[in-house]
Chain A
Amino acid sequence: MFLNAWSLALTLTSLAGIVLGAVACRTAVRVLRHWNPASDSERQIRLEGEIWLSSTLVAYGLGFQIVSLVLFVLAADEFCKVIVGAMCATGALLANGFGLPALLVKMAGVFLYGFWLVLHQLDIRSESYPLVRLKYLYLLTLYPLMATDFALQTLYIAGLKPDIITSCCAVVFGAATADGANLLNIASAEFLLPLHYLTMALLAGVGGVLLRRRQRWLQALYAAGWAWFFGLALVAITMAISSYIYAMPYHHCPFCILKPEYHSIGFAIYGALIVGAFLGISAALVEPCRRRVGLEGVVAIYQRRAVQLSLGLLFLFALLTSYHYLRYMLLGGEG
């Protein structure tokens, strides 16, 4: 279903990312082969200049990836109007086997390109650029992810079969793939909500202690906590919280909260969650860089800021996800 404005937009965005990524990888290969900080040769000076090109390309790539992620979900919401049995974006994503994997790969891309940019920002703060080789090796591993993203997205769009009336048999029985109950059916709301809040409280606690007493194991625990919470929060939003936002007990779609009729609150919720998780996890991932020349202070500052910001975003996330539930309970709703 490529002849469609949304498909074209998605394809263009991904293609732009692929092309820019290829140029960045070319720099990566050249840096890994010829990088010699002690040299004053023309090539070394050129490579130092190309570092700015690659970092700009990855920054653009991250921006495009975020746009692509949002576009993908919005496109699924449009596609559902032409796919049999699909009532909303969830149904459209489940229309073939490539939809959800494409979405998950896109989300992973946001995190992974972001990590590269964090590494780069730390690297350029030391006069010896100690993370150059690590950075560019990492960059080369990101390219297959980009290619996978593009492939999955293309296969998804190609596999979509819009439902149109045929000449004789117009009754087509679509599978009931409408709501999130098909997407996820892991646990009940009664179990998920308390776990969700307990995890948030624990995470806030660990973060608070970490700000007072920096310990490596606490840092790792905090990051692991965020990784766990990210998955849990997505499940909780799908299985429990979204219903309160829709005020409909059987509507469990995690994507409809992005729609204007719900004040697009999904953007704020997912934005707080994704950025918070990114900061919380990256704070621990940069720990090994502390040992590198000139990075001790820089990494420490980043870690502290990242933990502070992630705690702030956790609080915001808690507010946003609790509002509808609390409002419902206060207005006399049953649990």
Chain B
Amino acid sequence: MNAIIEKQCNILDYALSSLWRRRLKNGGIVVVFAAVIFLVASFQLVTSALTESAGRVLAAAPEITLQRMSAGRQEAIPLAHADRLREIFGIRAVVPRVWGYYFDEVRGANYTVLGVAPGMPQAEGLSNAVANETPWPTGAGQVVVGRAAAAALELQPGKLFSFFRPDLSLKPLEVAAIFRSETELVTADLIAMPIADARDLFGIPATHATDLCIYVANPAEIATIAGKIAKILPDTRVLTRPQIQKTYQVVFGWRSGFASVCLLAALAAFAILAWDKASGLSPEERREIAILKILGWETSDVLGLRFWEGIVVAGLAFLLGTTLAYGHVVFGEAALFKPVLMGWSVLQPTLHLAPQVTLKEVLLLLAVTVLPYLAVTVIPAWRAASVPAESALGG
């Protein structure tokens, strides 16, 4: 056993010296391979970081959200519906929510306006999201604004501004605080205000709300309770939190997968390059292999040599590519791929992503990059190992 390990160490040692002797050619392959791995890894890291962030954010969302539908479109839901829900066992609380989109014609931006009532479950999460631990404003007309919205409207704390009501009268608002940058993924375009102000801005009467947040005692019962609600209130759409989470996952996964398919072209091009480089044996390389074989290296030993060379090249490229990808995502905010994953919004949050590089992610990246490289180079490696020993004889 020791001899086998020692033998492989010897061959690895020779492989390293062989790679170094042809460092220009091998360095080129490492650089190109690392670039391909960088692209694939960046996508994968961004996707998993975004879905993980979304998951964390959604953890605070209500278990069930109830919306009223009319002719396939959402309408304000009567608060009387909440009374009907009290007969369902397992519902902990029903909280009306008022929110909507305000379209800014000048800037072409949509802001999300959320009405916050004291004591509602989201209030604590929202107040934690405010910068500098400013207490949550309770005065009428006082709003907390997300960073992207503040930048678009040129707002800072203390500044006054106005939005149009549906009847085109102006509603004055005052900026009380700005949301922290860490929460940008969800608060970037958010304007939070007292619920009464939100009703006033959108013209939603006190008897209605945009939707109802339903909090359930036992998460395992979500689907059952959702079914019961659907039966009692057939004119509503019942959204469960697991479904929203899965939808985010699918959307990010789809976009990432689509981009990965495009990257397959880059991978294929690299595979052809790798095949070409591995197949092209220079006269010096042929001579070297023939000498090794005459000196007692078996074909399997030369195959082992080429295998280790491939592993080292792939390993170096993988380390380089994934490190650069991590830097690109964490420090560069995935600048290259943001448009693909973030959509068309005018207001885009700055991404502070912290992707986790787990064994799972590493295996996935290895399977998409390193394995195809090894597969492409195995036949050229065998051809190299088949150089006849007798070609070393003669001048």
**Which residues of A does B touch, CB under 8 Å?**
2-10, 12-13, 16, 19-20, 23, 49, 52-53, 56-57, 60, 64, 67, 70-71, 74, 77, 81-84, 162-165, 167-174, 260, 264
Contact B249 A64 (CB under 8 A): no
Contact A52 B382 (CB under 8 A): yes
B-side binding surface: helix, strand, loop or mixed? Answer: helix
Contact A171 B368 (CB under 8 A): no
Roughly how many angstroms separate A71 CA and B362 CA in the complex, as a whole number?
11
Roughly how many angstroms separate A7 CA and B368 CA in the complex, as a whole number?
10
Contact A71 B257 (CB under 8 A): no
Roughly how many angstroms separate A2 CA and B261 CA in the complex, as a whole number?
10
Contact A20 B245 (CB under 8 A): no
Contact B223 A173 (CB under 8 A): yes
20 pairs, A vs B, C-beta closer than 8 Å = A3-B258, A3-B261, A5-B364, A20-B375, A49-B299, A52-B299, A52-B300, A81-B245, A81-B246, A81-B249, A82-B253, A162-B250, A163-B243, A163-B246, A163-B247, A164-B250, A164-B251, A165-B243, A165-B247, A170-B240
Q: Does B363 contact A (CB under 8 A)?
A: yes
Q: Which 7 A-B pairs have the closest CB atoms?
A: A3-B257, A16-B375, A9-B367, A4-B257, A53-B382, A162-B250, A164-B247
Contacts of A164 in B (CB 8 A): 243, 246-247, 250-251
Residue among A5, A71, A162, A172 with the most chain B CB within 10 A?
A: A5
Q: A4-B257, A163-B250 provided; 12 other pairs, C-beta below 8 A?
A: A4-B254, A5-B256, A13-B367, A23-B379, A52-B386, A67-B367, A71-B364, A71-B367, A81-B246, A168-B69, A169-B237, A171-B240
How near does chain B come to A311, taking the closest CB pair, in angstroms? 17
Interface string of B200-224 (1 = CB under 8 A from A): 0000000000000000000000010
Roughly how many angstroms separate A57 CA and B386 CA in the complex, as a whole number?
15
Q: Does B303 contact A (CB under 8 A)?
A: yes
User: Which residue of A is nearest B370, CB measured?
Assistant: A67
Contact B230 A171 (CB under 8 A): yes
Contact of A4 among B253, B366, B367 (CB under 8 A): B253
Roughly how many angstroms separate A74 CA and B260 CA in the complex, as a whole number?
19
User: Which residue of B is nearest A53, CB measured?
Assistant: B382
Contact of B368 among A12, A57, A77, A169 (CB under 8 A): A12
Contact of B260 among A8, A19, A64, A260 (CB under 8 A): A8
Q: Does B360 contact A (CB under 8 A)?
A: yes
How near does chain B come to A279, taking the closest CB pair, in angstroms? 15
Q: Does B119 contact A (CB under 8 A)?
A: no
Contacts of A5 in B (CB 8 A): 43-44, 47, 253, 256-257, 260, 364, 368
Roughly how many angstroms separate A6 CA and B247 CA in the complex, as a whole number?
17
Contacts of A7 in B (CB 8 A): 257
Interface string of B225-263 (1 = CB under 8 A from A): 011001000000111100111110111011011101100
Contacts of B3 in A (CB 8 A): none
Known: A53-B382, A74-B363, A260-B358. A64 touches B238 (CB 8 A): no
User: Which residue of B is nearest A305, CB measured?
Assistant: B1
Q: Does B378 contact A (CB under 8 A)?
A: yes
How near does chain B come to A160, taking the closest CB pair, in angstroms? 11
**Which residues of B does A touch, CB under 8 Å?**
43-44, 47, 69, 72, 223, 226-227, 230, 237-240, 243-247, 249-251, 253-254, 256-258, 260-261, 264, 299-300, 303, 358-360, 363-364, 366-368, 371-372, 374-375, 378-379, 381-382, 385-386
Contact of A6 among B226, B300, B364 (CB under 8 A): B364
Contact A56 B367 (CB under 8 A): no
User: Which residue of A is nearest B231, CB measured?
Assistant: A171
Contacts of B385 in A (CB 8 A): 52
Residue among A20, A53, A173 with the most chain B CB within 10 A?
A: A53
Roughly how many angstroms separate A174 CA and B258 CA in the complex, as a whole number?
27
User: Which residue of A is nearest B375, CB measured?
Assistant: A16
Known: A8-B260, A74-B360. A170 touches B253 (CB 8 A): no
Roughly how many angstroms separate A163 CA and B43 CA in the complex, as a whole number?
23
How near does chain B come to A9, taking the closest CB pair, in angstroms? 4
Contact B364 A9 (CB under 8 A): yes
Contacts of A2 in B (CB 8 A): 257
